[in-house]
Structure 1
Amino acid sequence: MTMAPVAESASLRYYDVAPGYRLNVRSGPGTNYTIERVLAEGAKVPIFCQTPGTTVTGPYGTSNIWDNIDDGQYVSDAYVNTGSDGYIAPRCA
């Protein structure tokens, strides 16, 4: 895991994972990718970029948006409270 420089991390926003869920973190933007780890209930995640992938239905609706929370680690946006049904971060390259 690489740490962001202090100047960048000061402006990095963290978003709440839906209450009561332990969220799978996958190696890519879809349910067909391997589970890398599982986030604990009450976790907060940064969103570095977002990309389309498998469509998932969760507590915040149905979405094909996947949030990149670390190098090679993605979670479904349907489980993250971003306050939007659309993209809130740049598209992943």
Structure 2
Amino acid sequence: MSTDENKTTTMATTATHYTVAPGYRVNVRSGPSTQYPIVRALPLGATVAISCQKYGEWISGPYGTTKIWDNIAPGEYISDAYVRTGSDGFVAPRCA
């Protein structure tokens, strides 16, 4: 296994999980805006691993108003306004 492969494996296995706001079934969308189709809805009490983050539509939620969207799986985004990251800024790398 090359050094790059080791880094990818290590990052994937040590991802930080964040709690979604209690009492909310958050819609997961295919892009960083409510204009994108809903892919699925997260169950109550969900936690998510954030792969990367990018700017998108402004959203107000229980954790403030933000234009940061969290990529939680390939082609799956949720507004950071519904995720308790403990920060008003980026907590993961920016998505390409």
TM-score of the pair, normalised by structure 1: 0.91
- Deviation, 1:6, is 5.3
Alignment partner for residue 54 of structure 2, among 30, 34, 51? 51
1:42 matched residue in structure 2: 45
Q: What are the Cα deviations for residues 28-54 of structure 1, in whole angstroms up to 9, with x where unaligned?
A: 001100000000010000000000000
Cα distance in 2 for partners of 1:18, 1:92 equals: 23
- Deviation, 1:61, is 0.1
* Aligned length in residues: 89
Please list, as runs of the form range in 1=range in 2, the aligned pairs for 1:11-90 lying within 5 A after superposition.
11-90=14-93
Which structure 2 residue ranges, 5 or more long, are not aligned?
1-7
CA RMSD of aligned residues (A): 1.1
TM-score of the pair, normalised by structure 2: 0.89
Greater C-alpha radius of gyration: 2
Percent of aligned pairs with the same amino acid = 58
More helix by share: 2
Letter in 2 for 1:16: T
- 2:13 counterpart of 1:10: yes
User: Secondary structure of 1:9's match?
Assistant: helix
User: Secondary structure of 1:91's match?
Assistant: coil
- Deviation, 1:10, is 2.6
